[in-house]
Protein backbone atom coordinates (compact mmCIF):
# COMPACT_ATOMS: atom_id res chain seq x y z
CA UNK A 1 0.00 0.00 0.00
CA UNK A 2 1.10 3.53 -0.71
CA UNK A 3 0.24 6.65 1.23
CA UNK A 4 -0.14 9.71 -0.96
CA UNK A 5 -1.26 13.25 -0.20
CA UNK A 6 -4.61 14.40 -1.44
CA UNK A 7 -4.87 17.86 -2.98
CA UNK A 8 -3.27 20.71 -1.03
CA UNK A 9 -6.75 21.92 -0.17
CA UNK A 10 -7.28 18.79 1.89
CA UNK A 11 -5.13 18.27 4.95
CA UNK A 12 -5.50 14.48 4.84
CA UNK A 13 -3.75 11.64 3.13
CA UNK A 14 -5.25 8.52 1.65
CA UNK A 15 -3.93 5.00 1.40
CA UNK A 16 -4.36 3.11 -1.87
CA UNK A 17 -3.19 -0.24 -3.20
CA UNK A 18 -1.35 -0.97 -6.46
CA UNK A 19 -4.38 -1.13 -8.76
CA UNK A 20 -5.76 2.12 -7.38
CA UNK A 21 -2.34 3.72 -7.81
CA UNK A 22 -2.47 2.99 -11.56
CA UNK A 23 -5.94 4.51 -11.76
CA UNK A 24 -4.80 7.61 -9.86
CA UNK A 25 -1.74 8.02 -12.10
CA UNK A 26 -3.94 7.75 -15.19
CA UNK A 27 -6.34 10.35 -13.76
CA UNK A 28 -3.50 12.75 -12.97
CA UNK A 29 -2.07 12.27 -16.48
CA UNK A 30 -5.49 13.01 -18.01
CA UNK A 31 -5.79 16.18 -15.93
CA UNK A 32 -2.26 17.22 -16.94
CA UNK A 33 -3.12 16.77 -20.62
CA UNK A 34 -6.30 18.80 -20.17
CA UNK A 35 -4.44 21.57 -18.32
CA UNK A 36 -1.74 21.66 -20.99
CA UNK A 37 -4.36 22.23 -23.68
CA UNK A 38 -6.02 24.91 -21.56
CA UNK A 39 -2.67 26.67 -21.07
CA UNK A 40 -2.04 26.45 -24.81
CA UNK A 41 -5.44 28.02 -25.54
CA UNK A 42 -4.69 30.76 -23.04
CA UNK A 43 -1.50 31.60 -24.91
CA UNK A 44 0.96 30.37 -22.29
CA UNK A 45 4.39 29.91 -23.86
CA UNK A 46 3.75 31.90 -27.03
CA UNK A 47 6.51 34.11 -28.40
CA UNK A 48 6.58 37.62 -27.01
CA UNK A 49 7.21 39.37 -30.29
CA UNK A 50 10.47 40.70 -31.66
CA UNK A 51 12.38 40.38 -28.41
CA UNK A 52 11.28 36.83 -27.64
CA UNK A 53 13.39 33.70 -27.74
CA UNK A 54 13.08 33.20 -31.47
CA UNK A 55 12.52 29.88 -33.19
CA UNK A 56 13.89 27.93 -30.23
CA UNK A 57 11.26 29.37 -27.93
CA UNK A 58 8.53 28.40 -30.39
CA UNK A 59 9.83 24.86 -30.67
CA UNK A 60 10.32 24.20 -26.97
CA UNK A 61 7.42 26.14 -25.44
CA UNK A 62 5.27 22.99 -25.47
CA UNK A 63 7.75 21.27 -23.14
CA UNK A 64 7.50 24.11 -20.64
CA UNK A 65 3.71 24.14 -20.91
CA UNK A 66 3.54 20.35 -20.38
CA UNK A 67 5.88 20.55 -17.37
CA UNK A 68 3.73 23.25 -15.78
CA UNK A 69 0.57 21.24 -16.45
CA UNK A 70 2.05 18.05 -14.95
CA UNK A 71 3.16 19.89 -11.82
CA UNK A 72 -0.24 21.55 -11.47
CA UNK A 73 -2.01 18.20 -11.78
CA UNK A 74 0.43 16.49 -9.40
CA UNK A 75 -0.17 19.08 -6.69
CA UNK A 76 -3.94 18.96 -6.88
CA UNK A 77 -4.73 20.87 -10.02
CA UNK A 78 -8.35 21.84 -10.46
CA UNK A 79 -9.76 18.67 -8.92
CA UNK A 80 -10.39 16.94 -12.22
CA UNK A 81 -8.02 14.06 -11.44
CA UNK A 82 -9.85 13.28 -8.20
CA UNK A 83 -13.20 13.20 -10.01
CA UNK A 84 -11.78 11.01 -12.77
CA UNK A 85 -10.18 8.68 -10.23
CA UNK A 86 -13.42 8.23 -8.31
CA UNK A 87 -15.38 7.60 -11.52
CA UNK A 88 -12.85 5.05 -12.83
CA UNK A 89 -12.68 3.32 -9.44
CA UNK A 90 -16.49 3.06 -9.25
CA UNK A 91 -16.59 1.69 -12.80
CA UNK A 92 -13.85 -0.85 -12.00
CA UNK A 93 -15.67 -2.03 -8.88
CA UNK A 94 -19.00 -2.38 -10.71
pLDDT at 10: 44
Domain range for 14: 2-44+53-93
* 2-14 tens-digit pLDDT: 445 555 444 344 5
* Angle 77-4-14 from CA coordinates, rounded to 5°: 100
Q: Give me the torsion for CA of 52, 56, 62, 63, rounded to 10°.
A: -120
Predicted TM-score of the model (pTM): 0.72
Say how far apart CA 23 and CA 10 lie, in whole Å. 20
Number of domains in the chain: 1
Comparing C-alpha atoms, which of 3, 14, 10 is closest to residue 77? Answer: 10
pLDDT at 19: 78
Determine which of 35-39, 46-50, 64-68, 69-73 has the lowest per-residue pLDDT on average.
46-50
Amino acid sequence: MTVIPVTPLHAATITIDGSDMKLRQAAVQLEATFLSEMLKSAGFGESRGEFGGGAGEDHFSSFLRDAHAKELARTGGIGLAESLFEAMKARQNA
